[in-house]
Amino acid sequence: MTPKLGSWQRHQNIQPQLHSKFKRHQKCHLWTYLKEDLQLSDSEDSDDDVIYAKTTGPPTYTTNSYGYLVEETPTYQTTNCYKTYKGPTQSSSQQTVCRDEPTENNWMNQRTEQSIKILLQKQLEEQKLLSQEQKSAQTSMRKSGSSSSDLYDAVPEGHVQVGKIIYNPKAVLGHGCEGTFVYKGRFENRPCAVKRLLPECFTFADREVELLRESDQHPHVIRYFCMESDNQFRYIALELCVATLQDYVEGKSPYSRTFDSLQLLHQAASGIAHLHSLGIVHRDIKPHNVLISQPDTGGNVKALISDFGLCKKLTAGRISFSRRSGAAGTEGWIAPEMLDEDKRTTCAVDMFSFGCVIYYVLTRGKHPFGDSLRRQSNILEGDYSLQSLPMIDFYVRKDLIDSLLCFEPSKRLCAKAVLKHPLFWSRERQMAFFQDVSDRIEKENVDSEVLVCLEKKGLEVVKFDWRKHISEELQNDLRKFRTYKGENIRDLLRAMRNKKHHYRELPEDLKRSLGAIPDQFVQYFTSRFPKLLIHTYNALRCCQYERVFQQYYFIEY
Packing angle between helix 489-501 and helix 519-528, nearest 10 degrees? Answer: 160
C-alpha distances (whole Å) from 127 to each of 12, 16, 122, 134, 450 are 16, 21, 9, 11, 91
* 290-293 sheet: strands from edge to edge: 241-244, 290-293, 303-305
Dihedral Cα 271, 277, 283, 285, nearest 10 deg: 20
CA proximity to 286, closest of 380, 203, 219, 349:
349
To 5 degrees, how large is the angle CA 144–CA 148–CA 150?
85
Say if residues 68 and 8 touch (Cβ distance below 8 Å): no
Of 37, 216, 284, 399, the active-site residue reads 284
Please tell me whether residue 540 adopts helix, strand or coil conformation: helix
Sign of the CA dihedral running 215, 218, 219, 224? positive
Question: Which residues sit opposite 22 in a β-bridge?
Answer: none
Burial class (CB in 10 A: 0-12, 13-18, 19+), 413: buried
CA proximity to 221, closest of 175, 272, 176:
272
Q: Is 439 a catalytic residue?
A: no
396-409 burial string, b = 16+ CB within 10 Å, else e?
bbbbbbebbbbeeb
CA proximity to 367, closest of 340, 378, 260, 245:
378
DSSP letters, 410-425, are GGSPPHHHHHTSGGG-
Say if residues 306 and 290 touch (Cβ distance below 8 Å): yes
CA proximity to 276, closest of 550, 556, 551, 549:
556
Please tell me whether residue 325 adopts helix, strand or coil conformation: helix
d(CA 439, CA 331) in angstroms, rounded, equals: 48
Strands 303-305 and 30-34: unpaired
d(CA 450, CA 540) in angstroms, rounded, equals: 7
Residues recognised as catalytic: 284
